[in-house]
Amino acid sequence: MDNTTHNGWTNYATWRVALECFDGMDSCKGMTAADCQELVTEHVASQSEGLAMDYAFAFLYDVNWQEIADHLSDEEE
C-alpha cells in the first residue's frame, strides 16, 4: 500500500506550504494556483540563496498548487 498523503493533503510538501504560507491569511483567499506558486516562490527567492534556495525550490516542485488554491476558495464559502 503506497500512502503518500499527509494530513488530508496530496503530500507533505503541499500540507506544509499550505500550513506555513497560507493558513489564516485572509488576503490569499480566491488566489489561483499560479498566484499561490508565484507568491511562495518569490518569498523563498527573497529569503534564501545558493544551495538552500535550490533545495527549497526542489521541495516546492512537489507542491500541488491547485489543491491549495481550491482549499483557499473553499474557505471563502
| 15 belongs to a structural domain | no
3-state secondary structure of 38: helix
Q: How many domains does the chain have?
A: 1
Intervals of the chain under pLDDT 70: 1-4, 75-77
34, 31, 37, 43: which is closest to 61 by C-alpha? 37
Residue 41 belongs to what domain range?
A: 32-77
| 72 belongs to a structural domain | yes
What global pTM score does this model have?
0.86
**pLDDT at position 30:** 81
**pLDDT at position 1:** 44
| 14 belongs to a structural domain | no
DSSP letter at 6 equals: B
Alpha helices in the chain (DSSP H): 12-17, 33-47, 50-61, 65-76
| 64 belongs to a structural domain | yes
